[in-house]
Every structure is written in structure tokens, then in C-alpha cells.
A = this chain, B = another copy of it.
Amino acid sequence: MRATVMHGAGDVRIETVPDAHLVERTDALVTVTRAAICGSDLWPYKSMEPSETGRRMGHEFIGVVEDIGTDVQTIKAGDLVLSPFVWSDGTCLFCREGLQTSCLHGGRYGDDGVDGGQGQAVRVPQADGTLLLLPVGKEDALMPSLLTLTDVMATGHHAALAAEVGPGRSVAVVGDGAVGLCGVIAARRLGAERIIILGRHPDRIAVAKDFGATDVVSERGDEAVERVRELTDGLGAQSVLECVGLEQSTVTALSVVRPGGAVGRVGVPQGESIPEGVTTFFDNVTIAGGPAPARAYLEELLPDVLEGRIEPGRVFDRVTNLDGVPDGYRAMNDREAIKVMIEP
């Protein structure tokens, strides 16, 4: 079968790889009908050391079940299913607490002989714990929005929860990428009153406004901090969603939060410490978040997508087949595209 393999920074190839096939009795074999390129795929795209064997890519996909292992009980061949960006058993201590990203028997796509999502098919481990049955056809018009539930919409929701967004709260969203935009949706959905997005790309800002952003701060650094304070009676936002992961964006996030407020971090941190200065502590700021346990949120978010209350699929502004994936990486890296959907 064909799949996406990264061989180093800027070097993404579509290659013929061994066909996906069942290995464990808890596996499902899924033919991919939609996949996506993630902002986090851009980190290795910028920095990966050259590798002969390469690394299988992709962790966001929807597809049709072709076959199941003998222990799989909740899905069957022919089902249309969605996978969150990590697989998990659904039964361990952490899964029961809703923290499937820390599943004791889970793992990541593309690692340890598990296929990546940016290919024709995937062996899904722990299928019962991982996959969500979709009650629509595989070419349903809602596919883009459903696909965001695999990662970015769930991640925006996680950021909002970690930042303690609730009715009436003031919210700042740092970053206008797909996750930031989904963070705006999540904040509005949870009842935020004021939603300030920090970003400077006109196309993305337009989407953010449609999603519910009430204010835009296009400045950066200290000027951005100043602007957010002006918009919040000089106090800062009660909830801040850090949706980038760079040191600068983290400093900004921690600088625009109000005393007693919370920063929800979902941008994968590129540094090894949190640059808090001293005020974070003295202001009793809570720092929370991490990789989103998307699986825990699917049941809650799915109805909102199916019934059209949220439309996160608008973050996809480009569609390609597998052959176009390398250029899709380039386009996202060059900020030509917000997020690329793949129809293998």
C-alpha cells in the first residue's frame, strides 16, 4: 500500500510500504477515507535528522473497517470509524479517568510497527477502546468537521477545559492555527463572554470571528500583552489557551492571564522549562493542559458536529490526494494553508 514517510526536515515522500494487516486479536484493519496533516507534523518537518528508513506519518483519520481481530466486539467490517490521535485500551486506570493519552496499554500512530494515518490503511491497536463509530456515510458533507474530532477540535476543547473556561469568563487564545481556531469554538461553546484571539493572518482571523472571537490582537510580544490588558480592564484574561508551544507564545500566554486565572497549554512545548518569570507564582496562575485525551471528548462533541452547532471543519482550506501530501506539508509550513485534508 502507499503511505507517507518522512525522511528528514523538508523531506516527505509517498512510498510503497507493507500492507497494513491484523497482528493482535484486539486490532482492527481500517481503510483510510480521510486523513489530515497536523501542525505537530511540522515540528519534524522543520528539524528531523535525515533517516534512511524514515518515519511513518499521520495520526488523524477516518476510515472503513475492513477486518477485526477475534477479540474486537464493538465494531465490525463495513463500519465507518474515527480514531483519536492516540490509541488506548479504554479500560485501564487512566482511560477510566478520561486520560486516554496516558493509557497504560496505548500508543501513538507511526511508532513501533503501527501504521501512520496518512496512508491507504491503518492497523488500529486496541480497536474497542480507540475507535468511535460514525453514524453517517463515508462521503457525508460533515467529513471535514468530523475529521477535526480526531485531534484539533478535541485539542481546542481540552485547552478550554484546562484554562477553566466557563460562562461569562474572559478568554484569550494565543495562536491562530487550526487548534487556536478550534479553541475559539470551544470557548464560545463553553459560554465564554469575551474571546480575544492573538494572531495576524487575515484569513485565519476571519474564520476566528465567524467562530465567535469578539476581539483580535494582531500585535506581538509586549505590545500584544498590553493590548490584551487594555481589553480586559487592565487585569488580563481569566482563561488563556496556549495553542502554539513556542517559548515566545508561552511567555505571552503567561503574561496575559489574570491573577487567579488559568493557562491551558496544548501546543507541544519546544522548550524544556516554563518561562514563568516570577509573576505567575505570585499571581496564583494555574498552568494546565497537555495532549488532549480526544477519546474522552468524542461523545460530547460529536452531536454538536452532527447537528451543525459547530463547524470546525472550516479549518481545512486545502484538500489533496496522497500524491499531494508533500506539497501539503510545504503549504502548511509556509502558512499558505491552515490545515490540509487528505483523500487518499
Q: Identify which of B162, B275, B284 contacts A101 (C-beta below 8 A).
A: B284
The CA of A102 and the CA of B235, in the complex, are separated in Å by 11
Over the window 286-326 of chain A, the binary record of Cβ atoms lying under 8 Å from chain B Cβ atoms (1 yes, 0 no) is 11111101000000000000000000000000000000000
A269 touches B273 (CB 8 A): no
> 6 other contacts beyond A97-B260, A273-B274, A287-B288, with CB at 8 A cut-off?
A94-B260, A99-B284, A269-B276, A272-B275, A273-B275, A282-B290
Q: Identify which of B94, B274, B284, B290 contacts A274 (C-beta below 8 A).
A: B274
- Closest approach, in angstroms, between the C-beta of A91 and any C-beta of chain B? 16
Number of copies: 2
Interface residues on A, range: 20 to 34
Is there a chain B Cβ closer than 8 Å to A283's Cβ? yes
- Closest approach, in angstroms, between the C-beta of A275 and any C-beta of chain B? 5
Q: Identify which of B97, B273, B283, B293 contacts A290 (C-beta below 8 A).
A: B283
Is there a chain B Cβ closer than 8 Å to A135's Cβ? no
Is there a chain B Cβ closer than 8 Å to A57's Cβ? no
In the assembled complex, 24 residue pairs joining A and B whose CB atoms fall closer than 8 Å, in A order, are A94-B259, A94-B260, A101-B284, A102-B283, A102-B284, A162-B286, A269-B278, A272-B275, A272-B276, A272-B277, A273-B275, A273-B276, A274-B274, A281-B291, A282-B290, A282-B291, A283-B290, A284-B289, A284-B293, A285-B290, A286-B286, A286-B287, A287-B288, A288-B288
A281 touches B285 (CB 8 A): no
Is there a chain B Cβ closer than 8 Å to A7's Cβ? no
The CA of A235 and the CA of B277, in the complex, are separated in Å by 30
